[in-house]
Homo-oligomer: A and B are copies of this chain.
Amino acid sequence: MGYKPSYAKTVKRTGPRDIALTEYSSSILSMIASGRARSRADLARTLNLAPSTITIKVNELMEAGLISESGSGSATGGRRPTLLELVPDAGFILAADLGAHHLWVGRLNLSGNLLVSEIRTIDINDGPEVVLPQAAAMMRALSDPAVDPPLRGVGMSLPGPVNFALGALDSPSRMRGWHEFKVRNWLAEEFGTLAVVDNDANMMALGEHTLRQRESPDSKVRQNTLFLKAGAAIGCGLIIDGQVYRGSTGAAGDIAHVQIPAAGDAPCSCGNRGCLETVASGSAIIRDLAAVGIDAADVNDIVRQVNNGDPHTTTRVRTAGRILGQTLSIVVNFVNPDVVVLGGGLSQLEPYVAAVRSQLYESCHPLATKNIVIEASLAGSQAGLLGAGQLCLRTVLAS
């Protein structure tokens, strides 16, 4: 047997177009897909390669039919760049966003654009054996294998703590039957393709980050994003240097189950008492409103009531925002991100966003809030689906 080089850099791509691409080719694809580079000159700068090298690689990729030129960008004092894009028809990605009560699936092209999507209600407690086949069926329904370009990968966002290396949930609370069920492997086998799964907050963070990266041209400097998902539950995802940060055991980003004084010893879904989530989450608001006779079935009801000007609900939402802001300020001080994005259902409410923002400005060190941007999510409810697609796309293109 031979020598099996672990440093191997040359990648053979087999598939409809059988062409040998070198190491940097996949980086180029990733850069274009994620919006981190849009022209040859961009690529040279971002990847720290000679322009001449980029010319060669880009030509190869164009001949292989994987990327194409798409007009020219705006000039900045010189010749205008020729923009590059992934050829959308070179393949597609399926993504799914799984929640406690919803299942949202979508199809994306290789540029990471969501083409079609579909949603239905489910009960996560039916377990993976019931839910995953439902998801697979819905995803299949979004594509016609006879017509569509080949499926390149599947990404799924899961509503609990994910062991990324294992591709499974790790002791999720209130998700019967999901503990250590290997979701990634199941998907990979079911679709016969590459699959990725991650925690919903991480996925949303990545989706939002990618979107912002594309929207703004000066995005080169905004590479550290803290994404806070405030819906029925609270979750947090962190992007450092454009990548999802997962920490040592994959638990990074946990903020919901911090003990805070304002919570007293209210019991939490995690089994502990006095967690932030028992005060600042959508569920907590619903519980407190019920106690004073105001009926809200879910976060959407809260949103509706606040938009209708219900003073009681609005006050409660504002309080939740302020308390969340206090805890969040500790993390913002420590991580010092350039963007804090608020997502999840509650982020639709201006009073909530305003409360978090003002609390952050009040509690953080001035150096930490110097150039910070604190905003509601641009991706909105699509964040999870976009992120799942994006993570899958990055994995596909990097392999």
**Chain A residues packing against B (C-beta within 8 Å):** 5-7, 9, 44-45, 48-51, 161, 170-171, 224, 236, 238, 240, 245-255, 257-259, 261, 326-327, 329-331, 333-338, 363, 365-368, 370-372
Contacts and interface: CB of A to CB of B under 8 A. Distances in A.
B333 A45 contact: no
10 contacts: A7-B48, A171-B366, A224-B247, A251-B333, A251-B370, A254-B336, A258-B329, A258-B333, A330-B330, A335-B335
Contact of A336 (B171, B251, B335, B367): B251
Nearest to A338: B248
A221 to B, nearest CB: 8
A248 B261 contact: no
What is the oligomeric copy number?
2
Given A240-B240, A258-B333, A365-B257, A45 B6 contact: yes
Nearest to A368: B251
A334 B336 contact: no
Nearest to A45: B6
Contacts of A224: 247-248
A105 to B, nearest CB: 28
B330 A368 contact: no
Nearest to A53: B7
Contacts of A337: 247-248
Contacts of A338: 248
A171 B247 CA distance: 31
Question: What are the 7 closest A-B residue pairs judged by CB atoms, nearest first?
Answer: A247-B336, A251-B367, A252-B336, A248-B338, A254-B333, A251-B336, A251-B368
Contact of A334 (B5, B255, B366, B370): B255
A164 to B, nearest CB: 12
A334 B236 contact: yes
B7 A45 contact: yes
A54 B176 CA distance: 52
A258 B326 CA distance: 9
Contacts of A7: 44-45, 48-51
Contacts of A247: 224, 335-337, 368
A248 to B, nearest CB: 4
Contact of A331 (B44, B329, B334): B334
Nearest to A270: B365
A329 B161 CA distance: 18
